[in-house]
Amino acid sequence: MNKIKQGDTVVVIAGKDKDKQGTVTSIYNGKAVVEGINIAKKHQRPNPNLGIAGGIVDIEKPINISNLMVLNPATNKGDRIGIKKLEDGRKVRFFKSNGEVLES
Span 44-68, pLDDT tens digits: 999 999 999 999 999 999 999 999 9
* Mean predicted confidence (pLDDT) in 6-34: 95
Mean pLDDT of 13-37: 95
pTM for the model: 0.84
Rounded to a whole number of angstroms, the CA Rg of the chain reads 17
Q: Is the pLDDT assigned to residue 97 strictly greater than 70?
A: yes
Q: Residue 28 pairs with which residues in a beta bridge?
A: 31
Residue in 70, 77, 64, 63 with CA at minimum distance from that of residue 101: 70
Confidence grade of residue 103 (pLDDT, cut at 50, 70, 90): confident
- Asked if residue 104 has pLDDT above 70, the reply is no
Query: CA 21: distance to chain centroid?
Result: 9
